[in-house]
Chain A
Amino acid sequence: MLQYHYALAMVVQLFPTCLVNEIRPDAGMAVVRVLERVGCEVALPEGLTCCGQPAYNAGFHDEARRVARHTLAVLGATDGAIVVPSGSCCDMLVHQTVELFRDEPAAAEAAQRVASRCREFSQFVAERGGVPGGSLPSRVAYHPSCHLQRGLRVQREPLQLIGGVAGAESVPFDEQHECCGFGGLFSIKNAEISAAMMDRKLTAIEASGANRLVSCDLGCLLHLEGGLRRRGAAIAVQHLAEFLDEAAT
């Protein structure tokens, strides 16, 4: 396998996220390979579980704090950049965890230290100059997930990375920046509204003529992929890392 050699490999910690770990490990392996291609050595901290976002968003702050404390302990024992292949989990670590501990100065400080080390996957890869030399003829509908584009303000990076792949054409679609309706537990508690939002999104994506749907959040992707499958639509659904990995292979 082709490896790009940097003078010194940069060690990065990977927070794979629970959805990648349990449901789509292929996306995680793609993240690892892409990070290696941009000159990193990937480390997986021992004992990571979940960032606690499901409890936090449901209003169960005590439970969210317990999980966040665990995550901060695990990540706090490591050094260097922490790469998170999810806009919403990364936003949880960068913004919400700090908010969660606002009445506990020591924990808030620990949360702030971890927050300052976190990079969402596309943000990190773009900062490293992108993946050199990939090619993959495709028409890509990129779905900008909400916590990525509005929470972390990561807006151009994923499109830059897709644009860097020879033969890949990014196709715009109607109301591209609107929420897909996933929203974590919202997709179950308010399933009907979530589905109405998803239908608008999928109709727009199908009308765009795209043959791939790419995003940086597995939550949105599982929701949209499940909806596309229910519709019988033949659009391949990939995490950005899987797309970049396929293009570079």
Chain B
Amino acid sequence: MSSDASGGFAQRAHDALGNRQLHIALDRTTAQLGMRRSTAVASLDNFDGVRDQARAAKMQVLRTLGDSLRRFEEQLIANGAHVHWADTGADANRIIVEIATRTGVRRVAKSKSMVSEETHLNGALEKAGIAVIETDLGEYIVQLANDRPSHIIAPIVHMTREQVGRVMHDRLAVPYSDDTQTLARYARERLREEFLQADMGLSGANFGVVENGTICLVTNEGNGRMVTTLPRVHVALMGIEKLVPTMADLDRFLKLLARSATGQKLTVYTTLIRGPRRAGDECGPEELHVVLLDNGRTNMLAGETAEILGCIRCGACLNACPVYRSVGGHAYGDVYPGPVGAIVTPGLRGLDRFAELPGASSLCGACRDVCPVRLDIPRMLLALRHQAVERTPQPFALRAGLKMFARVATRPRLYRAATALVRRALRARARNGWIAKAPGMASGWTAFRDLRAPAARTFEQQWRERQASRHRG
């Protein structure tokens, strides 16, 4: 069930395509999320105008990221938060373990955080003898199953409710059920206890507002609010790209995020955090720490895929992507799957190890159409493919073939002669105008579909004959 970068994308995709359970689960959820999104988008007047404004704000922040981060830090400190800078995932984990150790934390309750998946924080905390519990329902099930999330907002999109029922039965010693209400009740009973016992709440951040240092979290289960108010220490771990300039911008992003992610006008809980508990407050953490993680983002900012740092992690591109819908999230081999993952993963973890990902797309552009901040994902996939050609080994046949193609396609007479040879060779293999089995690279085609044999006479030849007969006529 769980997977990693071993075996390569092609192998993982092959395994996923053969997994019937996965297809039932993926089809159910992605189609539903996609439809809900369409309806919700239609509910906002001027959705496209809001997208344009949000995009402009995000790109402005990214262009001036250093300054924005300094101003954000000043605001956080003025609000009473502690700010930590982490260059790498390991740095972030070390900083968080140190905070936990210094404050005598034994149990950490987490709300959903993709960045903590990126740094493998849970493993680091457990190694330090600190218990970690995921409190987002999906992430909780992932943790119980010792699995990995396969979707940015629907972590267990790859599981059917029957599979969830079996995991809960095995791990929590509760009667088996495939009724979602019952399963949610099982989780709720356990998680209540965890919220009350935890000494540290760990969250991500959906947005950080530069102008006043607000951390914004959205959840549908309220767990984000619990982990940021009940435990005595709250740590928010966020990527440095998560900033938006003003509260007015935040309003736009919230409208876009909920609609694009789950098809809601607003998530059930929107939590705005300005600082730790103040004198007279009835709840809230005694300490608030914000860990700002780079982990390769600054490098991306200087390259052709800088735009992807504007991603607000809504997951709409996953639901719209026919490749993601065919192979699921684990095939992408790292934390961020789908079209956004095919750009972010090579950016964060190196193109060498993930050079296949940008190729795992038909470039259909459905992702660009649904992206709330209009990220030009196909353009970035093409840029990464180009980088992969420049930097990583390519199949000899492909490289030689395309070099030959360029040489021939710029010399029309040679092109005519060469294509005539290929046509003749292919026609020799055809029966009734069709080829059932082609050699070499084209065998990939005929493994799944017949190949129409080329024509005996090209369009150009037929056209010339027609013109000549007209002149004669």
* Residues from 368 to 421 in B contacting A, C-beta threshold 8 Å: 368-369, 379, 382, 384-389, 398-399, 402-403, 405-406, 408-410, 412, 415, 419
Shortest Cβ distance from A182 into B: residue: B362
User: Do B322 and A179 touch across chains, with their CB atoms under 8 A apart?
Assistant: yes
User: Do B359 and A70 touch across chains, with their CB atoms under 8 A apart?
Assistant: no
Shortest Cβ distance from A191 into B: residue: B444
Shortest Cβ distance from A22 into B: residue: B454
Chain A residues lying within 8 Å of B17, measured Cβ to Cβ, are 192-193, 196
User: Do A188 and B441 touch across chains, with their CB atoms under 8 A apart?
Assistant: yes
Chain B residues lying within 8 Å of A61, measured Cβ to Cβ, are 386, 389
Main secondary structure of the interface of B (DSSP, over half): helix
User: Do B410 and A21 touch across chains, with their CB atoms under 8 A apart?
Assistant: no
With A59-B385, A67-B409, A198-B449 known as contacts, the answer to whether A187 contacts B361 (CB < 8 A) is: no
CB distance from A132 to the nearest CB of B (A): 23
Q: How far is it, in angstroms, between the C-alpha of A20 and the C-alpha of B460 when the chains are bound? A: 10
User: Do B448 and A191 touch across chains, with their CB atoms under 8 A apart?
Assistant: yes
Specify which of A23, A28, A62, A195 is in contact with B452 (CB 8 Å cutoff).
A23
Shortest Cβ distance from A26 into B: residue: B455
Interface size class of A (residues with CB under 8 A): 35 or more
1/0 contact string of A205-249 vs chain B (CB within 8 Å): 000000000000000001101110110000000000000000000
User: Do A52 and B409 touch across chains, with their CB atoms under 8 A apart?
Assistant: yes
* Residues from 13 to 45 in A contacting B, C-beta threshold 8 Å: 16, 18, 20-26, 28-29, 32, 44
Shortest Cβ distance from B445 into A: residue: A188
User: Do A146 and B363 touch across chains, with their CB atoms under 8 A apart?
Assistant: yes
Specify which of B358, B444, B450, B466 is in contact with A226 (CB 8 Å cutoff).
B450
CB distance from B35 to the nearest CB of A (A): 11
User: Do B410 and A69 touch across chains, with their CB atoms under 8 A apart?
Assistant: yes
Chain A residues lying within 8 Å of B369, measured Cβ to Cβ, are 150
User: Do A193 and B402 touch across chains, with their CB atoms under 8 A apart?
Assistant: no
- Interface membership of B457, Cβ < 8 A: yes
CB distance from B20 to the nearest CB of A (A): 12
User: Do A226 and B449 touch across chains, with their CB atoms under 8 A apart?
Assistant: yes
Q: How far is it, in angstroms, between the C-alpha of A113 and the C-alpha of B362 when the chains are bound? A: 28
User: Do B419 and A22 touch across chains, with their CB atoms under 8 A apart?
Assistant: yes
User: Do A189 and B405 touch across chains, with their CB atoms under 8 A apart?
Assistant: no
CB distance from B362 to the nearest CB of A (A): 3
1/0 contact string of B416-454 vs chain A (CB within 8 Å): 000100110000000000100000011011011111101
User: Do A22 and B423 touch across chains, with their CB atoms under 8 A apart?
Assistant: yes
1/0 contact string of A46-62 vs chain B (CB within 8 Å): 11111010111111111
Chain A residues lying within 8 Å of B388, measured Cβ to Cβ, are 59
Specify which of B359, B423, B434, B459 is in contact with A29 (CB 8 Å cutoff).
B459
User: Do A16 and B450 touch across chains, with their CB atoms under 8 A apart?
Assistant: no
With A44-B460, A188-B445 known as contacts, the answer to whether A23 contacts B362 (CB < 8 A) is: no
- Interface membership of A143, Cβ < 8 A: no
User: Do A178 and B322 touch across chains, with their CB atoms under 8 A apart?
Assistant: yes
User: Do B323 and A193 touch across chains, with their CB atoms under 8 A apart?
Assistant: yes
User: Do B389 and A150 touch across chains, with their CB atoms under 8 A apart?
Assistant: no
Chain A residues lying within 8 Å of B358, measured Cβ to Cβ, are 59
Specify which of A151, A181, A192 is in contact with B362 (CB 8 Å cutoff).
A181
Chain B residues lying within 8 Å of A26, measured Cβ to Cβ, are 455
Chain B residues lying within 8 Å of A55, measured Cβ to Cβ, are 402, 405-406
CB distance from A101 to the nearest CB of B (A): 14
- Interface membership of A190, Cβ < 8 A: yes
User: Do A198 and B452 touch across chains, with their CB atoms under 8 A apart?
Assistant: no
Q: How far is it, in angstroms, between the C-alpha of A55 and the C-alpha of B406 when the chains are bound? A: 8
User: Do B460 and A150 touch across chains, with their CB atoms under 8 A apart?
Assistant: no
Chain B residues lying within 8 Å of A49, measured Cβ to Cβ, are 408-410, 412, 415
Chain A residues lying within 8 Å of B409, measured Cβ to Cβ, are 49-50, 52, 66-67, 70
1/0 contact string of B326-367 vs chain A (CB within 8 Å): 110000000000000000000000000000001111111110
Q: How far is it, in angstroms, between the C-alpha of A183 and the C-alpha of B455 when the chains are bound? A: 22
Specify which of B326, B365, B384, B458 is in contact with A25 (CB 8 Å cutoff).
B458
- Interface membership of B14, Cβ < 8 A: yes
Shortest Cβ distance from A190 into B: residue: B360
User: Do B406 and A59 touch across chains, with their CB atoms under 8 A apart?
Assistant: no
- Interface membership of B85, Cβ < 8 A: no
CB distance from A150 to the nearest CB of B (A): 4
User: Do B403 and A63 touch across chains, with their CB atoms under 8 A apart?
Assistant: yes
Q: How far is it, in angstroms, between the C-alpha of A187 and the C-alpha of B466 when the chains are bound? A: 35
User: Do B385 and A179 touch across chains, with their CB atoms under 8 A apart?
Assistant: no
User: Do A179 and B366 touch across chains, with their CB atoms under 8 A apart?
Assistant: yes
Chain A residues lying within 8 Å of B389, measured Cβ to Cβ, are 58-61
Chain A residues lying within 8 Å of B466, measured Cβ to Cβ, are 29, 32
User: Do A147 and B402 touch across chains, with their CB atoms under 8 A apart?
Assistant: no
Q: Which of A60, A177, A225 has the most CB of B within 10 A?
A: A60
1/0 contact string of B456-470 vs chain A (CB within 8 Å): 011111110010000
Residues on B facing A (Cβ under 8 Å): 10, 13-14, 17, 322-323, 326-327, 358-366, 368-369, 379, 382, 384-389, 398-399, 402-403, 405-406, 408-410, 412, 415, 419, 422-423, 434, 441-442, 444-445, 447-452, 454-455, 457-463, 466
Q: Which 8 A-B pairs have the closest CB atoms?
A: A183-B362, A59-B385, A226-B449, A179-B364, A195-B448, A63-B406, A28-B459, A191-B444
Query: Could you list 11 examples of A-B contacts with CB < 8 Å?
Result: A21-B460, A22-B455, A59-B389, A60-B389, A62-B406, A66-B406, A66-B409, A150-B365, A178-B322, A188-B442, A226-B452
Apart from A28-B463, A181-B362, A200-B322: 16 A-B pairs, beta carbons within 8 A:
A18-B419, A22-B419, A28-B459, A32-B463, A46-B412, A55-B402, A67-B406, A69-B410, A99-B379, A147-B365, A179-B364, A197-B322, A198-B448, A226-B434, A229-B434, A229-B450
